[in-house]
Amino acid sequence: MSRPRRAVVTGLLLAVSGMTGALAAPMPPAALRSPAVQTPRALRAVTLAVARAGSRLVAVGERGTVLWSDDGGRQWHQAQVPVQSTLTAVRFADARVGWAVGHLGVVLRTEDGGQHWTRQLDGIQLAQTLLAAATDEASRHAAERLVQEGADKPFFDLAVLDGQQAVVVGAYGLALVTRDGGAHWAPLPLAAVNPRGLHLYGVQLQGPRWVIVGEQGLVLRSEDGGASFSALASPYKGSFFGLLGSPEGTLLAYGLRGSAFRSDDAGSHWSRVKIDTPVTLQAGLVAQDGSLLLLAQNGELFRSRDQGESFDSLQMPAGPLPAAGLGQAPDGAWILASLRGVRRADPTPPTP
């Protein structure tokens, strides 16, 4: 699975307004101008992430596909979505309010548990937001470049504190926060700690302490709710594709070639965790029983019952599967978002 996948935007007509001095927005790509197509094929579409909204399951994927299930993933229904861009991540604050993010700088919000979605942000609006927030020449030039390039930058992950506060992160160091339910988005101050604009793949919010991981082992932390960030020493030079946080405060950063690292002090120190696979770890989950799970791209599932100190392999009845996201149904079944659609698998004991 390539990261990031960039849309081709053609016919960009840019003009400079003499009255405001701001770059005019280019024509939005077709995927931003049309709603997701309502079709039975959506039930078999590529899905990349799945989350719980109360007892409901919500999965997101390619071409603006959003599916929801109220029976533990046995039957799925297609949601109303205003865009056709690929959606990469979804999170909920409660049973009704949630956000989804994806390609072309898209941020969507739902207030009915995922059945209907509204667009709060796209790549064109994102570039204009960053341009308006620019406070120095470097940030202004970076924002102007985004305006000129159009809506081609994806978001990869998000974290939700409540129905008003959420953080989204993505390609080229993009990271924004809302504190008013998405009515306004503001960039996080990461330029000094991520000067090369490395991709950001995972974010966890633990009260005022926020941790972000990404490309080339990048680890960033804020102790003041996103007002400022510092770059932490990394235990790994490869990319972290996700960050899992337990209620007890344990962090698990995971990524290429089955690599996983554990921290008990919010990223100040890390220890390598042995995972019995050479396959990239794609998703993580805190299960209903408190155990921690990591999902590999080939559908292998690994579970820890000791806060990430050790992991056992779980046998999956579906066999090998090109997997991307992991959730859990209310009855305990695993829900896998995959390149072959959403799959439900009953839990099985660990291998001997």
Residues 165-208: pLDDT tens digits? 999 999 999 999 999 999 999 999 999 999 999 999 999 999 99
Element (H, E) at 144: helix 137-149
How many CA atoms lie less than 13 Å away from 146 in the CB half-sphere?
Answer: 28
How many CA atoms lie less than 13 Å away from 44 in the CB half-sphere?
Answer: 2
Closest by Cα among 152, 69, 46, 160 to 108 = 160
The pLDDT of residue 333 is above 50: yes
d(Cα 53, Cα 90) in Å, to the nearest integer?
Answer: 10
Q: Give 44-82 pLDDT, tens digit per residue.
A: 999 999 999 999 999 999 999 999 999 999 999 999 999
Task: Give the pairing of strands 323-328 and 312-314.
Answer: unpaired
d(Cα 237, Cα 14) in Å, to the nearest integer?
Answer: 39
Residues ≥6 apart with Cβ < 8 Å to 278 = 257, 258
The pLDDT of residue 8 is above 60: no
Residues ≥6 apart with Cβ < 8 Å to 145 = none
Average pLDDT score over the chain: 90
SS percent in the chain: helix, strand, coil, step 5: 15, 40, 50
Q: Are 147 and 171 in contact (CB under 8 A)?
A: no
Closest by Cα among 203, 216, 20 to 128 = 20
- The C-alpha angle 172, 120, 285, rounded to 5 degrees, equals 65
Closest by Cα among 176, 68, 33, 53 to 111 = 53
The pLDDT of residue 26 is above 90: no
Rg of the chain taking only CA atoms, in angstroms: 19
pLDDT at res. 16: 28
d(Cα 262, Cα 241) in Å, to the nearest integer?
Answer: 14
pLDDT at res. 21: 42
Domains of the chain: 31-180 (2.130.10.10)
